[in-house]
Structure 1
Amino acid sequence: MESYYIKSDILHGIATIEFHHPKSNSFPSTQLHELIRMIDDLGQNDEVKIIILKSEGDKVFSAGASFDELLTIDEFSKGKKFFLGFANVILAMRRCPKFIVGCITGKVVGGGVGLASACDYALADENAAARLSELSIGIGPFVIEPAITRKIGITAFSEMTMNPTEWKSPQWLKEKGIYNHVYADAKTCEEETLSFARNLSVYSLEAMRDLKSIFWQGTDHLPKLMEQRAEMSGRLVLSDFTKETLLKFKSK
């Protein structure tokens, strides 16, 4: 059985969540559910003032959904349930009363772009190019769209979705608003992320919580919208086009 994990630790008021999967830090549903639980728990933990979200290694931050699990989906209800996993991670990040700071090292694909966009602040390295590849496998980034568009707008979102094989540079992503800073390498990014979190941790929790509510204002409709979007993905993932394309990717 392949090893993967999500772990957290707390030091001086800063909680760090780190996730790992041997297949490019992709997410099976079990790992999505664990991430939701961890974000909710840390959000309510009085020891925690700031949360850092990062992945293991510096090659790929996250490749998004697990292709292996997508291939096992054989009915609509299973598909909807899987994509609701990503929706519920974003909703957990939204409702978490603590600032979530992303440390984005390595390439970012699909659902990983959604996670980076749902962070309240994101620092990246020079390798953190990103793409929304969903259209190329017959689906679309439906569930994660609200988190991404909240940061970059519909024009930049459509630019990414309609060019699903094109990598957008970290500089492009910073200019559009997903990243706040881009650093030369992963080590510097990790050091600067921790320094930034430390600086934030001395401020008022109440003030930061209220600021976060402003960052996410106008998003009360997201739970219902994301359920509808999960239904779109759950239907399309059953198509012959998607199944055949996923098999081609898996056989490479």
Structure 2
Amino acid sequence: MQHAEGYVRSEIDHGIATIEFFHPSSNALPAIILEDLAKTINDIGIDDRVKVIILRSAGDKAFCAGASFDELVAISNDAEGKKFFSGFAHVINAMRKCHKLIIGRVHGKAVGGGVGLIAATDYAIATDSAAVKLSELAVGIGPFVVGPAVERKVGVSCFSQLAIDATEWRSAEWGKKHGLYAELHSNVEELDDAVKSLADRLAHSSPEAMWELKKIFWQGTDHWDTLLSDRAAISGRLVLSSFTKNAINAFKAKSVKS
């Protein structure tokens, strides 16, 4: 699905589905990209041709910059706010319910919602440069929607560190140490070799066995449809504050100057 700015693309080859997203603002996630991602994951999850999924973003810089600041500052009421943040909820829940194992291919830094995407994969492989940051508190909101996915992967303590220390990056090595990443590689070529190798092996594994395993991995998350929707309402309310509007505009102005 191609848009004026950005796209979500998928292809299937020998049982391996690759889903790629792109946005010119460091692979940010506006509402239309989130909607397309959720739909694509849902559709591929029930495609019998597919044995395993690779989730990746395009380009050679950031993996994902998180929520679109342009859309955040345009939100004018609670309903709009909840609808926007529900886009992240729908993607995470699509990944959670997907009948296929999802390999995350993380080539660069991730912020906010991008960290949530990584946490919702079943096995994330990254480069040494794939640092992470949950920057939401710095602009007056919080990682409410992605929080359950991140906490599930790294634990309450590490999630709280990321959420509280919202301006500092945590290295890829930190991510591997605490379970966000399964493997780290020194460059993109090695990353792609590792992703392909694992995907090939899984494409020759039992689909039934992988689905039964995935259900065990995600045990205890059946309430997330409601939980993440409730969390989206919190973010949707907070984003309306003058603190958040001013913080985002200041951040955008700083980005333009730099």
Q: How far apart are 1:58 and its partner, in Å?
A: 2.3
Do the aligned partners of 1:80 and 1:230 also contact (CA within 8 Å) in 2? yes
Indicate yes or no: 2:168 matched with 1:166. Answer: yes
Q: How far apart are 1:216 and its partner, in Å?
A: 0.2
Do the aligned partners of 1:101 and 1:122 also contact (CA within 8 Å) in 2? yes
Alignment of 1:93-242 (within 5 A): 93-242=95-244
Letter in 2 for 1:190: D
Q: How far apart are 1:99 and its partner, in Å?
A: 0.3
Letter in 2 for 1:6: V
1:134-187 deviation line (CA, Å, top 9, x unaligned): 000000000011111111111000111111111101111001011000000122
Corresponding residue for residue 45 of structure 1: 47
Corresponding residue for residue 30 of structure 1: 32
1:52-87 deviation line (CA, Å, top 9, x unaligned): 000001210000100011011000100000001001
Corresponding residue for residue 68 of structure 2: 66
- Unmatched segments (≥5 aa) in structure 2: none
Q: State how far apart, in whole Å, the 1-side matches of 2:89 and 2:77 are.
A: 19
**Counterpart secondary structure, 2:166:** coil
Note the aligned Cα RMSD (angstroms): 0.9
Q: Percent identity?
A: 52
**Counterpart secondary structure, 1:51:** strand
Do the aligned partners of 1:52 and 1:101 also contact (CA within 8 Å) in 2? yes
Which has the higher mean CA deviation after the structures are superposed, 235-244 or 193-202?
Answer: 193-202
Q: State how far apart, in whole Å, the 2-side matches of 1:107 and 1:176 are.
A: 17
Do the aligned partners of 1:131 and 1:164 also contact (CA within 8 Å) in 2? yes
Q: How far apart are 1:2 and its partner, in Å?
A: 4.8
Instruction: Report the number of matched residues.
Output: 252
* TM-score, structure 1 normalization: 0.98
Runs of at least 4 residues off by over 6 Å: none
Q: State how far apart, in whole Å, the 2-side matches of 1:51 and 1:197 are.
A: 8
Letter in 1 for 2:76: D
Aligned with 2:92 (options 64, 78, 90): 90
